[in-house]
């Protein structure tokens, strides 16, 4: 296994030219510039490369274990967590009111990229903690905020999200966990949850679960779900958190990957909890967590793809097999073979295009929070809502496909554990499933996001792309992206007001088409910004051409398939499957 290298040159390039970071920050009145951002990212990259990446394969082999009812994480994880928190990485983008550093979200997202690249199982701990913090910040009482947020923001304590039950996954209307009010204003929570990432660990400190449950008087369905804060340790008489709450780990899930991550079956047995937000309004509070998480999960796909690319590119330059194309030299590094380049360029076209798009989306999130003009805030917020399912689903699908292609570069050596490539594939797979499967994301895009503002949000986004493409017509990728955008507009018009079945039949192909166009837009911006003759600029122009020539053509078949409609998909009776 080769070292992980922080993609700092690409971050610097994106901040300076493609994303115009300094101007964006000025607009928001924030005192952060690209130089500071690069310095932070460089330091984060060092931590990921030196501290977390070396634990990744070993973490997979050792795994988290359940011993006498307590989770034991792989050796090195607890120390790494403490070092991570002490260096301030847990609080990077958090609200200064609770001890956070309040740095722009783009730095958070790119830190998440590097965390996922270096060690996805580890990266889930801070990721879920941040999601839990956001829900508490947005919906909990001031008491709960004051008690829990500072220690969660600092990383002394961690968070977990307890939503899924064995019979209630995508469909939370079916969940059965109960919460009964007690005289002191707390609740007794009882039920079993499954697939709970970071549900328990041995890092020390409290573990704050946000649990979806039903009150006794709850109406049926999703309108009867409430959210509760249920800590592993309750405050004792001295105010220190030493009293074990009525919750325990029933088992660790045996999973395909992310073995180091303790994914728990959690049993709550009259566990004490406090309501977060209003009764029966838990779903809204949960979506505060989920939306933040979904962007982060998309970035997990990007991170693993980037790490897998680095490994595969290094291997391809090192491994000697076969003859040069002119027949004159043998053996040659396999990087000389066109098909090996194809696999690497597919990954790279996604990683760099995706990294730019993630950065752009993160800047919109900063605008949504900090822009002085309320209309600008609302506009940015709507764009983030539009792009969240795209980033989550397309990036995790492409992340998995990238890991598979990087593994393929290694041939048989990719299938054995030694090189770590098969771990990338196993780890990347989960991101397509959790936080709402990618099918659910696609339905969210088509069913909820296209109708936003009566279609004005999506059309506004397309107009923005089109204006940029018109400005930059000189680069080849602009023309190809414009063609693909035409196709996307055509199918978008068809899907406005489509039936549930028609939307469902189109959704996954539509989301992919949407992502292809969005990344084509970013490749256009990058190709234009890369006008110089240094290696990075030259490479950007070549990969932009590759994206235009070899990736964007997929838009043709996707559009045709979508326009074919749902008829053949819905014609078979269920029993004929």
- Interactions with its own copies, residue window 557-576 (CB under 8 A): 557-558, 560-561, 564-572, 574-576
φ/ψ of 332, rounded to 5, equals: -120, 155
The span from the CA of 307 to the CA of 117, in Å, is 5
Which one, 276 or 442, has the nearer CB to its own copies?
442
- Interactions with its own copies, residue window 238-257 (CB under 8 A): 253-257
Quick one: which of 146, 320, 378, 470 contacts its own copies (CB under 8 A)?
A: 320
Q: How many residues of this chain bind its own copies (CB under 8 A)?
A: 106
Q: Does 159 bind its own copies (CB under 8 A)?
A: no
Q: Which helix (H) or strand (E) holds 213?
A: strand 207-213
Which one, 188 or 558, has the nearer CB to its own copies?
558
- Interactions with its own copies, residue window 188-227 (CB under 8 A): 194-195, 221
Q: Does 500 bind its own copies (CB under 8 A)?
A: yes
Supply the minimum distance, in Å, between the C-beta of residue 495 and its own copies: 13
- Interactions with its own copies, residue window 501-560 (CB under 8 A): 501-505, 507-508, 535, 538-539, 542-543, 545-546, 548-551, 553-558, 560
Choices 66-74, 236-244, 315-323, 373-381 (CB under 8 A): range interacting with its own copies: 315-323
Cβ atoms of 141 and 171 within 8 Å: the answer is no
Give the β-pairing of 158-162 and 207-213. parallel
DSSP string, 22-36: HHHHHHTT----HHH
The span from the CA of 291 to the CA of 177, in Å, is 23
Choices 10-18, 202-210, 338-346, 450-458 (CB under 8 A): range interacting with its own copies: 338-346
Helix, coil or strand: residue 219: coil
| 50 in active site | no
Joined tokens for residue 499: 């039936």
Which of 156, 435, 483, 566 is labelled catalytic?
Answer: 435
Helix, coil or strand: residue 165: strand
Which one, 65 or 278, has the nearer CB to its own copies?
65
Which one, 293 or 545, has the nearer CB to its own copies?
545
Question: Rounded to the nearest 5 degrees, what angle is found at the Cα of 347, between the Cα atoms of 343 and 352?
Answer: 145
Supply the minimum distance, in Å, between the C-beta of residue 448 and its own copies: 15
Supply the minimum distance, in Å, between the C-beta of residue 516 and its own copies: 10
Supply the minimum distance, in Å, between the C-beta of residue 526 and its own copies: 14
Quick one: which of 114, 430, 445, 517 contacts its own copies (CB under 8 A)?
A: 430
CB burial of residue 571 (10 Å; 0-12, 13-18, 19+): exposed
Helix, coil or strand: residue 241: strand
Q: Does 417 bind its own copies (CB under 8 A)?
A: yes
HSE at residue 472, side-chain half, CA atoms within 13 A, is 26
Which one, 195 or 514, has the nearer CB to its own copies?
195
Which one, 126 or 436, has the nearer CB to its own copies?
436
Q: Does 321 bind its own copies (CB under 8 A)?
A: yes
Q: What is the signed CA dihedral for 560, 566, 569, 573, rounded to 10 degrees?
A: -160
The span from the CA of 246 to the CA of 273, in Å, is 10
CB burial of residue 499 (10 Å; 0-12, 13-18, 19+): exposed
Cite the active site residues.
435
């Amino acid at each position: 296994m080769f070292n992980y290298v922080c993609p700092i040159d690409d971050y610097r390039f994106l901040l300076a030219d493609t994303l115009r970071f300094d101007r964006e920050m000025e607009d928001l009145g924030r005192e952060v510039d690209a130089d500071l951002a690069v310095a932070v990212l460089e330091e984060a990259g060092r931590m990921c490369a030196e501290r977390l990446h070396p634990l990744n394969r070993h973490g997979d082999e050792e795994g988290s274990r359940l011993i006498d009812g307590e989770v034991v994480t792989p050796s090195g994880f607890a120390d790494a967590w403490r070092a991570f928190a002490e260096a301030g990485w847990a609080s990077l983008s958090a609200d200064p009111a609770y001890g956070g550093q309040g740095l722009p979200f783009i730095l958070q997202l790119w830190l998440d990229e590097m965390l996922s690249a270096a060690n996805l199982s580890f990266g889930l701990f801070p990721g879920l903690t941040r999601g839990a913090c956001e829900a508490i910040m947005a919906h909990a009482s001031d008491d709960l905020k004051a008690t829990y947020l500072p220690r969660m923001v600092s990383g002394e304590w961690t968070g977990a999200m307890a939503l899924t039950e064995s019979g209630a996954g995508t469909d939370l209307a079916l969940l059965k966990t109960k919460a009964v009010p007690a005289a002191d204003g707390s609740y007794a929570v009882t039920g079993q949850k499954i697939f709970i990432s970071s549900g328990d660990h041995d890092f020390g400190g409290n573990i704050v679960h946000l649990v979806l449950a039903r009150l006794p008087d709850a109406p049926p369905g999703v309108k009867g779900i409430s959210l509760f804060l249920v800590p592993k340790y309750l405050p004792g008489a001295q105010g220190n958190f030493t009293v074990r709450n009525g919750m325990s780990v029933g088992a660790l899930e045996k999973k395909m990957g992310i073995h180091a991550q303790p994914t728990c079956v959690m049993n709550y047995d009259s566990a004490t909890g406090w309501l977060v937000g209003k009764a029966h309004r838990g779903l809204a509070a949960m979506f505060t967590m989920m939306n933040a998480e979904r962007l982060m999960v998309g970035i997990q796909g990007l991170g693993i793809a980037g790490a897998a690319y680095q490994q595969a590119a290094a291997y391809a330059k090192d491994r000697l097999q076969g003859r040069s194309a002119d027949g004159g030299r043998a053996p040659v590094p396999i990087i000389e073979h066109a098909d090996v380049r194809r696999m690497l360029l597919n990954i790279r076209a996604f990683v760099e295009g995706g990294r730019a798009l993630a950065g752009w989306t993160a800047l919109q999130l900063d605008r949504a929070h900090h822009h002085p003009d309320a209309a600008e805030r609302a506009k940015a917020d709507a764009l983030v809502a539009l792009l969240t399912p795209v980033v989550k689903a397309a990036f995790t699908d492409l992340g998995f496909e990238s890991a598979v292609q990087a593994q393929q570069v290694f041939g048989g050596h990719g299938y054995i554990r030694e090189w770590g490539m098969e771990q990338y594939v196993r780890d990347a797979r989960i991101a397509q499933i959790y936080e709402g499967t990618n099918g659910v994301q696609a339905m969210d895009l088509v069913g909820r996001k296209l109708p936003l503002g009566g279609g004005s949000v999506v059309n506004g986004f397309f107009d923005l792309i089109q204006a940029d493409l018109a400005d930059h017509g000189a680069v080849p990728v602009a023309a190809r992206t414009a063609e693909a955008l035409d196709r996307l507009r055509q199918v978008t018009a068809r899907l406005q007001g489509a039936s549930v079945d028609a939307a469902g039949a189109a959704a996954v192909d539509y989301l992919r088409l949407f992502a292809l166009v969005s990344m084509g837009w970013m490749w256009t911006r990058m190709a234009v910004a890369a006008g110089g003759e240094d290696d990075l600029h030259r490479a950007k122009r070549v990969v932009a051409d590759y994206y235009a020539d070899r990736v964007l053509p997929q838009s043709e078949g996707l559009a045709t398939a979508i326009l074919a409609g749902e008829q053949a998909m819905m014609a078979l009776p269920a029993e004929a499957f």
